[in-house]
Structures are given as C-alpha cells and as structure tokens.
Amino acid sequence: MKNNTLFERAVQGIFLILGLFTVGCVLLITLYLVFSGIPAILEIGLWDFLFGQVWDPAGADPRYGILPLILSSIYATAGALVIGVSVGFFTAVYLSKKASPRLKAIMSSAVSLLAGIPSVVYGLVGMMVLVPGIRELFDLPDGASLLAAMIVLAVMILPSVIKVSVTALDAVPKEYEDASLALGATAEETWFRVSVPAAKSGIATAVVLGVGRAIGEAMAVMMVSGNVANMPKLFESVRLLTTAVSGGMGYADGLYRQALFSIALVLFLFILLINGALNFFVKEKRNDSC
C-alpha cells in the first residue's frame, strides 16, 4: 500500500515536471519576445512602428514602418480563408454526408497526406508552377504576388479546415437529420439547414485554426510572394510579417535586428488573439451540447 502511493506520487511528479516544461517554454518565449521586442518599439515610437508606411530598415535613412507588412499578412490570410474555407467547407459536407464510406476513406487519407507535406515543398511547387502560371494567366511581367501567397496558403489550410469540419459534421446527431427528412426536406436542404447549423461551432473552430496556420506560415510564402515591402496589391510583390522576420534575421544588426523582434512580438499578439477566439468558440461548443 505504502509502496503504491509512493509510486503514484513519483509518477505524478514526473507528469507535473513534463507539463511544467511546456508551460515553461511558452513563458520563456513570451518573456523573451516581450523583452527583446519592446526596446525597438520605444525607440521608433509605437505609432510610427505600427502605422509607418515605409519599411526600409537597411537604407541610408532607415525607416521602420510595418503597416505594409501587417496589411499584407492580413490580406494574405483573408484571401487564403476565402479560397480555402469555401473549398474546404463544401469538401467537408460532401465527405461527411454524401461520399460512400470507401471514397471517404480514400479522400480522408489524401487530406491527411496534404497536411503532412512540408511547407518548403508547397513553396517550391508554388515557385515552379504557380508563379509562372499566374504570370501567363494574367499576362503580368512577374507572377510572384499577393495572389500567389493567398493560393499557397489556401491549399495549406485545407487539411485542418476539412478535418475539423468533417469531425464536427459527423458528430451531428442522426435524429436531427432524420427529423428533417421525415418532415419532407430533401437531403441537400437537410445538410445545409440542419447539419451545418448544428455543427457551426466546430466549423468556426476549423476556420480559426486555418487563420492560425495561415498567418504564421513563413517558408512557403517567402518563396512565392516576392518579398518587397509594398503596400498590398493583388498582383504586386508583398512582404508579410513572418517573411520579414525570417528573411532579415540572418545578417541584421542594431536597431534593425531589434525591430525584427518587435515584428515577431506583433505577430505573436495576433496569434494570441486568434487562440483567444479559438477558446471562445470551443467554450461555446460545450455550452451548445449541454
């Protein structure tokens, strides 16, 4: 008996330490970002930093305005959502409600595979196929653009959008649908009037997950977006928050380097906001089922 409690305590202790390790990492990163990100913001001025329209940190007269980067990140994420969520949502409805079990199994594993492809591969394919394709299709001088970033991000968020939505749709009680069908609604009416509203918090979670994935992606975007810190235009080259940090970190020093940490801090706050939204939706889901 005594041995047992000792053993249990030991195991408990180990689990606690492992759990604390994760929390410790988050705390460490947060503190590090805050402490290394604040000085440059103070030096540049919060307003000039967030709303300055020129990002030219290495010029003779350095300018540290990250508004073009913030807007580009938001536009690229929004565009990816418009494309990715519409494709992903209908795919999920099809997989959950219409597809035969065999087809569903095959397509689900294809979607999982898509999730497993490294982002650098997305970037590479985007660079070799998508960028020249956009150039030809729209008769532009160059295809590296905000649009290319949106499309690559849209494909990258598809797996999480589809999987989470399918899970949510599968979880809708069969009685709801049976009742709707019994009342004379067609199958399609039932999916979109009954199943989808019943699964709406799960689908919202899928969308928020997609936003989180899209806004934090750097590698693939860097390879297709051209990386010039312009104010965002659909067919112009843009630089996002993530690509500014990863592209500049190699050689930057002084205030430029500090400003990169400040950008990382801004990005971190964006992602915190998204996580907050995610928690909100998950909570709402729990209340729904009560």
Partner 1 sequence: MKKLICIALAFAVALSLAACGGKEKQAVATDGSTSMQKVILALGEAFMEDTGANFTYNATGSGPGIKAVKDGTCDIGLSSRYLRDSEKAQGLQETVLAIDGIAIIVHAGNPVADLTLEQIAAIFKGELTNWSQLGGKDGQIVLIGREESSGTRDGFESVTGTVDACLYRQELTSNGAVLTAVAENPNAIGYVSLSSVKDSVKAVSVNGVAPSEATVKDGSYAVQRPFVLVTKQGEKLSKTAQAFFDFATSPAANEIISAAGVVPVN
Binding site for partner 1 (CB under 8 A): 56-60, 127-128, 131-132, 135, 141-144, 222-223, 226-228, 237, 239, 247-248, 250-253, 256
User: What does DSSP assign to residue 247?
Assistant: H
CB-nearer residue toward partner 1: 176 or 256: 256
For the record, the structure tokens of 139 come out as: 């008769």
Separation of alpha carbons 186 and 96, rounded Å: 16
Contact 143, 66 (CB under 8 A): no
CB-nearer residue toward partner 1: 56 or 178: 56
Q: Minimum CB separation from partner 1 for residue 228, in Å?
A: 5
Separation of alpha carbons 160 and 143, rounded Å: 27
Q: Minimum CB separation from partner 1 for residue 53, in Å?
A: 17
Helix, strand, coil fractions of the chain, as percent rounded to 5: 80, 0, 20
CB-nearer residue toward partner 1: 103 or 128: 128
CB-nearer residue toward partner 1: 138 or 192: 138
Q: Minimum CB separation from partner 1 for residue 109, in Å?
A: 32
Q: How far is CA 61 from the centre of its chain?
A: 34
Q: Minimum CB separation from partner 1 for residue 197, in Å?
A: 45
CB-nearer residue toward partner 1: 61 or 175: 61
CB-CB neighbours of 208 under 10 Å: 22
- φ, ψ for residue 122, nearest 5 deg: -55, -45
Contact 147, 79 (CB under 8 A): yes
CB-nearer residue toward partner 1: 203 or 222: 222
Q: Minimum CB separation from partner 1 for residue 10, in Å?
A: 13
**DSSP SS3 for 185:** coil
According to DSSP, the β-strands at 55-56 and 63-64 are antiparallel
Q: Minimum CB separation from partner 1 for residue 50, in Å?
A: 20
